[in-house]
């Protein structure tokens, strides 16, 4: 039952980028994930008349339906399906208007790989819980993600829910402080990729590999988390993780290191900068890491010549936020 004095809930959940641990996190190793200042925003309003409506920007999820039909059929729309899942644990209002805005998680008309799907689910989940007077938890957000998405570790959900930089391992998160003096710059590789397809392919491939391959990958991921005491140690550990990740990519054929990422790595190497794909890889975003801000700015100019663009984004400490109105 909705809280009697609340008729409008607005939530905002940040996107993310992955510093380390991609794919290894699926094997129980830790990943480092950072929340960024690009948001999925949700506005949920109880109405006295009409049925349910969903409107989104970009216009991916637009639908009108009755609450009864939502419960009785399986929606093809991801947001409507998430609502159906939530209706099993919280009483939804009979009439409501849902507006979603994820425009800041898209650029050049494309998804940029900063966790738009996870941030959308987190903002929706928290809004529904608040409106239904139900306590929201990270466990609930991860459960919803598993029902709707069906794959992945949930690291993007945890980053969106908690904010800041976190170590994520097997559905548990803890805050991490990055080394002093570390500089980061995010680049968009110019093509959107499917995370779920690569996750399925990785699981299939790794199941046939010897234990030594799994151990080496997990150890490399552990090493990054254990090396946050200084920027130099962190870069050395991250560089080793990237080396192992490339071996995994070459063996599996996943295509984590797509052509644009490889070209960007060559540029970065000439400047003494560490570069890696962030997240599922292939396209989407990559991360340049250094202790020299001026070199990163110079790299930004060079990257444009090969078609990669630096994204204007910063780390944020705050996770999902809520505003309510009567």
From first to last of the 326 residues of the chain, give the pLDDT tens digit. 444 556 899 999 999 999 999 999 999 999 999 999 999 999 999 988 888 999 999 988 888 888 888 888 777 788 889 999 999 989 999 999 999 999 999 987 788 889 999 999 999 999 999 999 999 999 999 999 999 988 789 999 999 999 999 999 999 999 999 999 999 999 998 777 778 889 999 999 999 999 999 999 999 999 999 999 999 999 999 999 999 999 999 999 999 999 999 999 999 999 999 999 999 888 789 999 999 999 999 999 999 999 999 999 999 999 999 999 87
Give the count of beta carbons closer than 10 Å to the beta carbon of residue 14. 32
For tokens 């966790």, the residue is 115
Left (φ > 0), alpha (ψ -120 to 50) or beta: where does 255 sit? left
**What is the SS3 assignment for 112?**
coil
* Number of other residues whose CB lies within 10 A of the CB of residue 218: 18
- CA atoms within 13 Å, Cβ hemisphere of 249: 19
pLDDT for residue 1: 45
| CA separation for the pair 43, 39 (Å, rounded) | 13
CB atoms within 10 A of CB 8: 15
Q: What domains are there in the chain, each with its CATH number?
A: 8-176+315-325 (3.30.230.10), 183-310 (3.30.70.890)
Helical axes 231-252 vs 211-225, angle rounded to 10°: 150
**By the 8 A CB rule, do 178 and 234 touch?**
yes
Q: What global pTM score does this model have?
A: 0.94
173 vs 163: CA distance, rounded Å:
11
CA distance 15 to 119: 6
Exposed/middle/buried for 121, CB within 10 Å: 0-12, 13-18, 19+? Answer: buried
Distance CA 96, CA 51 (A): 7
Among 130, 108, 102, smallest CA distance to 44 is for 130
Alpha-carbon span 46 to 2, nearest angstrom: 9
The β-bridge partners of 275 are 288
Instruction: Give pLDDT, residue 6.
Output: 62
What is the dihedral angle through the alpha carbons of 172, 117, 27, 265, rounded to the nearest 10 degrees? -120
């Amino acid at each position: 039952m909705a809280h009697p004095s609340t008729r409008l809930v607005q939530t905002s959940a940040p996107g993310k980028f992955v510093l380390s641990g991609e794919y290894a996190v699926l094997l129980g190793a830790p990943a480092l994930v950072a929340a960024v200042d690009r948001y999925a925003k949700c506005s949920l309003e109880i109405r006295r008349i009409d049925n349910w409506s969903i409107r989104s920007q970009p216009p991916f999820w637009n639908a009108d339906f009755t609450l009864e039909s939502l419960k009785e059929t399986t929606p093809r729309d991801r947001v409507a399906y998430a609502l159906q899942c939530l209706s099993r644990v919280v009483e939804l209002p009979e009439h409501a208007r849902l507006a979603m805005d994820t425009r800041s998680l898209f650029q050049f008309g494309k998804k940029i790989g900063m966790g738009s799907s996870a941030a959308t689910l987190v903002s929706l989940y928290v809004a529904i819980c608040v409106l239904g007077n139900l306590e929201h938890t990270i466990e609930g957000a991860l459960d919803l993600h598993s029902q709707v998405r069906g794959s992945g570790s949930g690291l993007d959900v945890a980053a969106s829910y908690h904010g800041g930089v976190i170590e994520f391992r097997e559905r548990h998160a803890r805050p991490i402080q990055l080394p002093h003096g570390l500089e980061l710059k995010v680049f968009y590789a110019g093509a959107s990729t499917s995370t779920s397809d690569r996750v399925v392919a990785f699981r299939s491939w790794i199941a046939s590999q010897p234990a030594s391959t799994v151990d080496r990958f997990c150890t490399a991921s552990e090493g990054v988390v254990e090396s946050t005491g200084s920027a130099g140690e962190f870069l050395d550990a991250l560089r080793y993780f990237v080396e192992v990740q490339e071996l995994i990519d070459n063996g599996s054929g996943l295509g984590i290191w797509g052509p644009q990422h490889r070209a960007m790595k060559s540029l970065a190497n000439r400047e003494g900068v560490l570069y890696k794909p962030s997240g599922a890889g292939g396209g989407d975003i990559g991360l340049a890491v250094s202790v020299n801000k001026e070199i990163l700015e110079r790299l930004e100019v060079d990257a444009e010549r090969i078609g990669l663009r630096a994204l204007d984004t910063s780390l944020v400490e705050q996770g999902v936020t809520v505003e309510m109105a009567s």
